[in-house]
Structure formats: C-alpha cells, structure tokens
Structure 1
Amino acid sequence: MLADLVRSTAETVLTEHGLDTAVLPATVTVERPRNPEHGDYATNVALQVAKKAGVPPRDLAGWLAEALAADVTITSAEIAGPGFINLRIAADAQGEIVRQVLDKGAGYGKGDALTGTRMNLEFVSANPTGPLHLGHSRWAACGDALGRVLTAAGAEVTREYYINDAGVQIDKFAASLIAAAKGEPAPEDGYAGAYVGDIAAEILRREPSALSLPDDERTQTFRDLGVALMLEEIKRSLSEFGTEFDVWSSEKSMYASGRVEASVEELKQHGHLYEADGAWWLKSSDLGDDKDRVVIKSDGVPAYIAADIAYLLDKLERGFDPCIYMLGSDHHGYIGRLKAIASAFDHDPAVVEVLIGQLVNLLRGGVPVKMSKRAGTMITLEDLVEAVGVDAARYALVRSSHTSTLDIDIELWTKRTNDNPVFYVQYAHARLSSLLRNASELGLTVPDAATTAAADLGLLTHEREGDLIRTIGELGRVISTAAELREPHRVARYLEDLASAYHKFYDSCRVLPQGDEQATGLTTARLALCAAARQVLANGLALLGVSAPERM
C-alpha cells in the first residue's frame, strides 16, 4: 500500500537525519491530485510533520522525495509548493491493485479502521400509525447504506428500529380506526386515508365483535391490533426495499418492563432531577442542553423524554459506543437532550451521535407529485418504489448528503440514459459483464484470483488504463472516509467516477481481438483490469443495497 511505503520511508529519513519519528501520524495521507499532470498521487506528510520535527518543510520534502524515487515502485517523486510531494507510480506496481481486487473479490475495499467498535444505528423508527412516507424512505436507504459502510470499515453494527407504540399518537390512531370501523369521519387531529379504513376492516374481520365491546376493551383491541397490523406493513415495505433490522425495540415495553421507572429513579438518586411546580425536571441545562426538560408531568404522567431516557440507558447497558440516531429535520432539539441524558448516566456525551436528515420532494418533470391516494396526506415509500423502482429509489436517496434537501424527479430516475446516475453505474457493470462473457465465448481466459499471476499487468501503461486502475484503488479510502464522516453518499459519487473512468478506458483501449487477430499479453492484462473494475462496481453497489445487473 502506497501510504505504508510513504510512512516507512519517512520514518527512515527522519531517523537518518537524527529526527524524532514520533511526529509521524499512524497513517499518512496519500491522495490523487485533482490535476493528473501533477502526478498519480500526492502526499503532504512533509508539511504535516516538519514543524514538529524542527526542519523546513521543503527540506524534509526533498529528503523524502529522493528516498521515495529510489524505490522500484516509484518512477518519480517531485516537490511542489511549500512541501507537497507528487508521485508517479510504475505500471507494474499499479497493476498490483488489479491483482489485489481479483484476489480479495467481494472483500476488496473492506478495512479494519473500526474493528472492535460496537455501534448502535437507529433509523427510520416511524410511528406505527401510517405507511412510511418519503422522509422515512430517505432514512431507510441512507441508514441501511451507512450500516453497510460501517460494517465494511470493521465495525460491529446493530441496526435498530424504535417502535413508538405508546402515547397520544397511538391513542389518536386507535380513535381513528374505531371511527372508520363505524363508517364515521376521522376525529379532529386523527388519521385519515384509505389505509385507515383497510386496517379497521381487517380488525373487524379478525374480531367481528370488536365494536360491541365495552369502551376500554374496544379501544385496547383497536389499539393493539391496529399497531400490530401497521407494523406488519412497515416491516414488509422495508424488507421489499432491501432494508432489514437486527432489533425492534418497543416504547411500550420500556414502560411495561419497569425500565422507565427505574431509569427515572436512578437519575433522582444521582441528583439530576429536581421537583418544581409539581413536576420532575431533568437538569439538562447543566449538562449541555439549551433548557431543562420535564420528565414527569405535574399529573404524574411521564413525558415523552422519560422513555427516551430509559431507551438510551438500555443501549448504553448493552455496550454500544457510539449510539447513532438518524432523525428527521424537525428533531434538532433531540441532540442536546440525548447528549445530556448520556452525561447524566456518567457517559461521555460523544457516545451519542445525532444525524439530522432534510426533506425529500418527489417531482415529475419539475412539478411536485400530488399526495398519495392511499395515505391521503403524504407520498409513501411504496409510491416512490412504484414510480422509479427499488434500485433507482435507493440510489437517488443515498446519492446526496442527508444534510441537504433532496428533489427526486421521476422522469430523470426512470430514464435509460447516462443522465440517470444509477443507470450510468449499473450500465458500466453490465457492459463489463458482457465484455467478459464475450471473452469467454472466444475461448480467452478471464483472469481471476487463481490465474491472475500469469497476467503481465506491467503492460497496462496507457493513460486511460492508469486512470482506471487508480480509481479502482480508491475504494478502500472512500469506504473509510464515508464511515468516519457517516456519509454513504460518497460511495455513490465514487461509483460514478469509476463508471466514467471505465467508459473512457473502453473508448480508448480495445480489449478483445478482432477478426483473425491473436490474443496477446496485453489482451490478458486488459481482461484482468476489466474483471477488477466489474468487481469493484459490484462491491460499491452492494454497499448501497443496489443490484449489479449483468444484462441491461
């Protein structure tokens, strides 16, 4: 790995000049320069450590460049600016990237930066009072992709869905179901839409006498069955979307198990709660929040935050660090309160990470799509999938940072042209698959892990070959960065760069022999490069939960 070579060389150079090697970072930065004329790669390690080492950056860069240029894998090492080093890599050394891909296969790009880290990733967590809407869809795609990326970076990730099955909204849902079962309009602030009638009808099918039960029993029946049926639909929608969860946690169970009462009592004992105006308050403003929060209201009923307290404590006791919450744009206030709760239980508030996602709009030709006929007041996940398909929906939702508002235009995402980003990437994979099938039909050996040693990858000297190889080699860095920054959209943008590099290579470098031409060593090398490109495209698409078709 080039970064390892640069670091070990820097360590040797520092030692030779009597300088402290402890100034070196554990991993040095080696990146591809924006301008390819500057070289294949560049490093700023001399700038990073020169001051700590007590030497001018350009002097250190000069010593390091001279040492690196002496390595057989480096064709040139030049100083640029105040102390950058631009590197050009020998073709056979670059070719080793291809060999690594074919050797590691589906494991290529995975790393160990987060090995030993147990992460809890909570996302979607929609109330079981209606279908998943467009905003939930974004978290279903982004959360699932982030979980895959974190796992690829070595973390042990538990994907968790928190079921808000207690409280006022559930009461309103039950009242709406009862009204629908009676053929009456939904109560004020209740839930409307055809789905409410469908669920009410199913409840009556299962419990024909539900409406004739005493009021409390009737309400409980509609509440329990309604939530169960809605949750079944949510699980089905998510599964069909390719999003699965390891744990489904229930707010209701937090109360039934006594965890809410126990966690509140623990905060009282540690002096983090105080009584005022007949209510119990969390001293959250002392713990970094913008204000204190009511935990137990003056009527003795727990506020919503009481269950949040119990739930976060439950996660912490299960040993997760960090606990990542993916919440909607109206949940900014949760950041301070959740971190305050962690502090109240003597944990570093950094154990809580809150990612806030922005809104999603569905358009057709630039015009907003009308509300769902079934849900009545929203566009649902199923509406999106019906409009553009699972692959396009997932890719569209992940492709942009969750911090920005997202417009998804149906006309763009259903095009079978290069204007459609997911088509562009998938087509590159299908094109490669077709080329490799054709090679097999011609009787040519497509190099794989077992046969790649016979390929002379040093023959890959064309500019477009080098561009493609170096882009292939970026997957590990992209995964590591996406995991560290919690930004899975970086994988999508990388795949588009990789598809572009492949298409340019294909247009400039003929792979298969034509007519009576005989296959050469260059043919074999290029087939190995194509096999590697296809593997990396497949690996990247898998991180997004998007299929890698072999035919389109």
Structure 2
Amino acid sequence: MTPEQLSTAIVDVLTTLSDEGALTLPDGVPTTVTVERPRQKGHGDYATNVAMQLAKKAGMNPRALADLLAERLGEVDGIDGVEVAGPGFMNLTVSAGAQGVVAAQIVAAGAAYGGSDAFAGEKINLEFVSANPTGPIHIGGVRWAAVGDALGRIFQMTGAKVTREYYFNDHGAQIDRFSRSLLASAKGEPAPEDGYGGDYIHEIAAAVVAKEPQVKDLTDEEAQEVFRAEGVEMMFEEIKKSLHDFGVDFDVYFHENNLHRSGAVERAIARLTELGNTFEQDGALWLRTEQFGDDKDRVIVRSNGEPAYLSGDLAYYLDKRERGFDRCLIMLGADHHGYVGRMNAMCAAFGDEPGKNLEILIGQMVNLLKDGAPMRMSKRAGTVVTIDDLVDAIGVDAARYALTRYSSDSNIDIDLDLWASQSNDNPVYYVQYGHARSCRMMANAADLGMSLPDESTFDPSLLSHEKEGELLRALAEFPRVVASAAELREPHRVARYLEDTTAIFNRWYDTKECRMLPQGDEPVTALNEARLVLVAAARTVLANGLGLLGVSAPERM
C-alpha cells in the first residue's frame, strides 16, 4: 500500500465512524490525512498523527481516538497491524503482499508514475532566465535555466499546463550600450566606458560587418542602428542555441519592445487609472504601490512624458493575465530582491492576489571552484563565467543536476573537479549509475530467459525481506515528493530523493538474501520474477526522477 492508499483508508474509517455517530467532527471529515515513513526502525512501515490532530475537534482524548481508529484500521485488507504509541501516534504495519503490489503498479504506470492532479487545470506562465541580449548567459542565469526548466517539468507532471517564457529585454539603455560597443569594435576603438567587453563583442561586430559591409560607409548614428538590429539578433540567437544545447527551450520569446510599440503600456496605465490606483504629482504619473505593501509609491510616467521602467512590467503582467494564465511565476537573481515589493504591489493594484496570481522566486549566487579556487573569468566573455564554460567543464547532465540539487534561496559552490569525476562522490554519477545498474540487471535477466510476470503470476507477498520493504516504501514516496516539489517550488527535493532511493536500492542489491538472478543451474522461481518486478520499478522511478531534472538516464556507464 502507498501512503496515499493508507490516507484513503484512514479517511474511509473516519467517515464510517462519523456516519455511525461514534465520532463527531464539526468541520467534517478531512479529505486527506498525512501518512509518513517513521524516522525510527521498529515503528511500523508508516506513521500518522491524525488522532492528535482531530482529537480536540472531536472532543476526545487523542489516545482514545487513536485506539478507536486502530481497531477499525486493523480490519482493512493490507494492514497487518496498528500500534498506538505515546499520546496518540499511530504506527501502521503493511502486509508484504499489499506493499509488494506497489512494484507492479509502478511498472504498469511507466513514465506516468510520479504524476498527480495537484495542479490539474491550472495555466502557469513560468518566466525564467530572461538575460539581457547583451552577452552570453552568465552562471547566475544558468542556475535559473536548470531550475526553471525542472520546475516546469514538475508542474506538468502534476497536471498543470505550463508555458515557458523568455522576456527579451530589447528596449532600453543596455541595448544602446551594446550597439555602441559593437560599433567601437568594428572601428578598432576600445569599448565605451559604460560598454561591454570580451571576445564575443569582437566576434559579433565582425559578423555584422560581414553580413552588412556597407555599414562601414554609414555615419556613426546610422551604423549604430545597424549594429543594434543585427547584433542584438545575433546575440539572442547565440543565447537560444546555448540554452537549447543545455536542454532548455522556451514556448514563448516575448519582446519588451512590442509592449511599447503596441500600446500595451498605455492600456495597462489606463486600467490602473480606472481602478483609482494612480495619481499625478510634480508633473509625473505615480502608481499607489505603498498602499499595497511597497515601501513607497512609484513613478510610472516621468515628468517628461517618458514611461518609467516599471511601466513595462505593468504592461507585461497584464498581458500575461489577459492571455489566460492563472499563475505567473517569475524567477529573478539575488540582485533583484528589492524588486519583489513593488511587483507584488503592482499585482494587487490590478486587483489580483500576490503569491497566487504573481509569484516571484529569488535565486542566490553560484560560485564555481576549480582546483579549490574560485573561477571568476570566462575566456570568451572576459568578465563572467558563462553557460558554455560550465558545460565544457562538466557536461550538461552534471551541470543541470548540480544546479537543481540545492535550494534556490541558498548560495552554492560547485566543485568542477568533483562534478566531472566518475565516482560515487559525484551525486549525478551515483544516481545515473544506479539506473544503469537496474538496466544491466534487467538485461542479464533477459539473457536467462526471464521476463516480467503478468498479473496472474506475480506474487507480491514474496517481496517480504526487510530490505525489499524499505525499497518499496521509498519507491512509493515518489509521487508525494514530486507533488511537494511542485507545491514548494523546490526541484531539489527530487534530486535528494533520487540519491536516498539509489542508496536504498544499492543496499538491497548488496544483500545476499535478496539476489534477483538464479545461480548456476537453479531454476527461475516466482521469487526471482517478483524481484525482477522490483528492479523494473526502481528503474522506472530513477528514470522518471532524472527526467524531471532534465538529466539523462543512461542504460550503460
């Protein structure tokens, strides 16, 4: 039995007791109950504190309620026993047959195992990376590429309709500095003081000149416009290629410039004015963000009539909502922390709910270590470490896993020597090797003529060894881990689960009493076949988990 099945069984017992009048719950019977793996061995297969949670509402002593539930749960098929401990904890022991059937259910579900309907029907706009098209993606942006794409996969696994979106910042001063830098390079001059340096500037400038040779005959003002149009597009194509090679593709590339050209900015401001949330002062137009939790009101149209930077955010958010998205998630770097208050206030000013309709996730810094020392400079970008630097050093799989393995709100150090190594100290190698081991075991079984038993010949009760029970319980946890990762926006929970489950799988593999293959002239038994199902289930879970992180699941290593 899975934790979800046990939760259903407990809810059914609560409902029966309530219908019989043996239990009174003024707020009604809960739809779900938390069932967890106990921290200590000897405390059953699963545990719940539901009696302690409901006792006060039911007007009962927690232990008395636990005793009442335990008596009824002991009659449920698949539950071998219920022990009441302490003030009202309940430790549940599941029969080997009920536990073993989970393996067959996992194999039958295949790639769908781990999914749920936790976010079914929700349209989620997931905006991440969105680096300025003025240079290669630096290591901070790479973190969001890995985490954002993984989160999108996790949301999809839990039923959401996800649109991955890249906000193309092609409007503003940074584009002017970029085009002036290209022009300076083409003329053989040093980069402007506020411009961009690095070999990539010279490469793009040369490419623009090769494509548009007449640019050399234009005035500086005319030439700068050519470098703006051609250079920005070339840079952006390079960014998209780097992301694609990293396994990240976007459904929508939204151009900031379009907001200003289409009248979307004016429409957003008009909407906020209609809602009474703007005011004029000192010749400028302001948004009443302070009343919605910001530290001060914000200018949205300057006294010279030019829209302030926030005006584009207003238009962009409204555009997303008008496209029908229930949730708009934006992933930003640590340097944007002060941005959260005004964005949430903007959301509220439109009449929406911050934290639900708009959610902003902040990612902290990433440091790369090589030979124990920080890696600070790129050979090509000159001032930062880029996505290509990281991939060249450790590969796509290791890079994605390393960046998703830690909570996004914590700084991380990535030891390039460790993540490039082929050893069990390397977390991604460890998990991938666990998957490859399960594939090898399946292949060896096939060589002996073994195949997965069908429903009529599979005997789940044979998976009765302690190590098998431990592995089955770990595999049964996967859907809950995925749902939790979606709910908390924490893909690292999947990575840590994979490592823990691989360790449990390896301990089972190393247990002589749990040998899967017959030895020598031994015939294939029902126990061998049952263990083959267990291996297939482990392979499914490891492959599905790696897939959620955008990491390959190799069959050989």
Structure 1-normalised TM-score? 0.98
Deviations 1:174-226 (A, max 9, x none): 11010011111110111000000001011001100113223433222111111
Q: What is residue 447 of structure 2 aligned with on the other side?
A: 441
Question: What stretches of structure 1 move > 4 A for 4+ residues in a row?
Answer: none
Which residue number in structure 2 is paired with residue 81 of structure 1?
86
Partner of 1:253: 258
1:243 maps onto 2:252 in alignment: no
Displacement of 1:155 in angstroms is 0.9
Q: In structure 2, what is the equivalent of residue 98 of structure 1?
A: 103
Q: 2:501 aligns with which of 498, 503, 511?
A: 498
Given that 2:101 and 2:460 are in contact with CA atoms closer than 8 Å, whether structure 1 keeps it comes out as: yes
Which residue in the other structure is 2:488 paired with?
A: 485
Residues 219, 531 of structure 1: alpha-carbon distance in 2 compared, 3 angstrom cutoff = same
Alpha-carbon separation, structure 2, partners of 1:24 and 1:384: 52
Letter of the structure 2 residue corresponding to residue 478 of structure 1: V
User: 1:49 maps to which residue?
Assistant: 54
Cα offsets for 1:52-78 (capped at 9, x unmatched): 121111111111011111222111101
Rounded Cα–Cα distance in structure 2 between residues aligned with 1:200 and 1:29: 60
Could you tell me which of 369, 376, 380 is aligned with 1:374?
A: 380
Q: Which runs of structure 2 are paired with 1:402-551 in the superposition (5 Å)?
A: 402-447=408-453, 451-508=454-511, 509-551=514-556
In structure 1, how many angstroms separate the alpha carbons of the residues matched to 2:291 and 2:221?
Answer: 42
1:187 match: 192
What amino acid maps onto 2:335 in structure 1?
D
The 3-state SS of whatever aligns with 2:361 is: strand
TM-superposed CA distance for 1:365, in Å, is 3.2
Contact 1:79–1:86 under 8 Å retained in 2: yes
Of 513-522 and 172-181, the range deviating more from structure 2: 513-522
- Which amino acid is 1:51 matched to? K
Distance (Å, rounded) in 2 between the aligned partners of 1:119 and 1:370? 35
Letter in 2 for 1:285: E
Aligned position for 2:311: 306
Instruction: State whether residues 119 and 160 of structure 2, in contact with CA within 8 Å, keep that contact through their aligned partners in structure 1.
Output: yes
Q: Which amino acid aligns with 1:380?
A: T
2:15 counterpart of 1:34: no
1:521 counterpart letter in structure 2 = A
Structure 2: distance between partners of 1:386 and 1:58: 59
Correspondence 1:286-325 to 2 at 5 A? 286-325=291-330
Aligned partners of 2:496 and 2:307: how far apart in 1? 45
Task: Give the equivalent residue in structure 2 for 1:225.
Answer: 230
Establish whether residue 392 from structure 1 lines up as the match of residue 398 from structure 2.
Answer: yes
Matched, 1:108 2:123: no
Equivalence map 1:116-127=2 (5 Å): 116-127=121-132
Q: Secondary structure at the match of 2:548?
A: helix
* 8 Å contact kept, 1:24–1:49: no
AA paired with 2:310? I
Distance (Å, rounded) in 2 between the aligned partners of 1:54 and 1:334: 48
Q: Helix, strand or coil: the match of 1:249?
A: strand
Equivalent in the alignment of 2:29 = 24
For 1:353 and 1:398, the matched residues in 2 are separated by: 19
Q: Is the 8 A contact 2:116 2:483 kept in 1?
A: yes
AA partner of residue 425 (structure 1): V
Name the SS of the counterpart of 1:323 in structure 2: strand
Aligned partners of 2:125 and 2:328 also within 8 Å: yes
Distance 1:20 1:266 in 2: 46
CA offsets 1:411-454 (integer angstroms, 9 cap, x no match): 1101111111001100000001011101101111134xxx2442
Report SS of the residue matched to 2:369: strand
SS of the equivalent of 2:336 reads: coil
Q: Counterpart of 2:15?
A: 11
Residue 10 of structure 1 aligns with an amino acid whose one-letter code is: L
* More moved, 287-296 vs 379-388: 287-296
Structure 2 counterpart of 1:75, which letter?
Answer: D
Say if 2:459 and 2:526, in contact at 8 Å, map to a contact too.
yes
Structure 2 residue runs of 5 or longer lacking an equivalent are: none
Q: Does 1:128 align with 2:133?
A: yes
For these two proteins, the number of residue pairs brought into alignment is 549
The answer to whether the 8 A contact 2:9-2:76 is kept is no
Is the Cα contact below 8 Å between 2:376 and 2:383 reproduced in 1?
no
For residue 22 of structure 1, report the CA deviation from its aligned partner: 4.2
The residue type equivalent to 1:490 in the other structure is R
Contact 2:23 2:58 in 1 (8 A): no
Residues 509-533 of structure 1 deviation map (CA, whole Å, 9 limit, x = unaligned): 2110111111111100000100110
Q: 2:171 aligns with which of 155, 166, 171?
A: 166
Aligned 8 A contact 1:13 1:63 in 2: no
Task: Give yes or no for contact 1:13–1:67 (8 Å, CA) kept in 2.
Answer: no
TM-score normalised to structure 2 length: 0.97
Give 1:18 shift.
4.3
Measure the CA separation in 1 of the matches of 2:298 and 2:228.
29
Q: 1:365 to 1:66 in 2, by over 3 A?
A: farther
Residue identity opposite 1:201 in structure 2: A
Aligned match of 2:290: 285
Contact 2:26 2:57 in 1 (8 A): no
Does residue 265 (structure 1) correspond to residue 270 (structure 2)? The answer is yes
Residue identity in the other structure for 1:436:
M
Residue of structure 1 in register with 2:358 after alignment: 352
Do the aligned residues in 2 keep the contact of 1:478 with 1:494 (CA within 8 Å)?
A: yes
CA contact (8 A) 2:394 2:420 kept: yes
Question: Percent identity over the alignment?
Answer: 56
Alpha carbons 1:91, 1:458 under 8 Å: kept? yes
Task: Tell me the CA shift for residue 286 of structure 1.
Answer: 1.1
SS at match of 1:31: coil
- Alpha-carbon distance in structure 2 between the residues aligned to 1:191 and 1:199: 12
Determine if contact 1:14/1:21 at 8 Å carries over to the other structure.
no
Q: Deviation at 1:355?
A: 0.5
Structure 1, unpaired ranges of 5+: none
Are 1:331 and 2:331 matched, yes or no?
A: no
AA partner of residue 362 (structure 1): L
Letter in 2 for 1:432: S
SS at 1:26 equivalent = coil
User: 1:454-486, CA deviations, whole angstroms, 9 ceiling, x for partnerless residues?
Assistant: 211110111110010010000110011111001
Question: In 1, are the aligned partners of 2:204 and 2:234 still within 8 Å (CA)?
Answer: yes
Tell me, in whole angstroms, the C-alpha distance in 2 between the residues paired with 1:151 and 1:504.
Answer: 32
For 1:20 and 1:52, the matched residues in 2 are separated by 6
- The SS at the match of 1:353 is strand
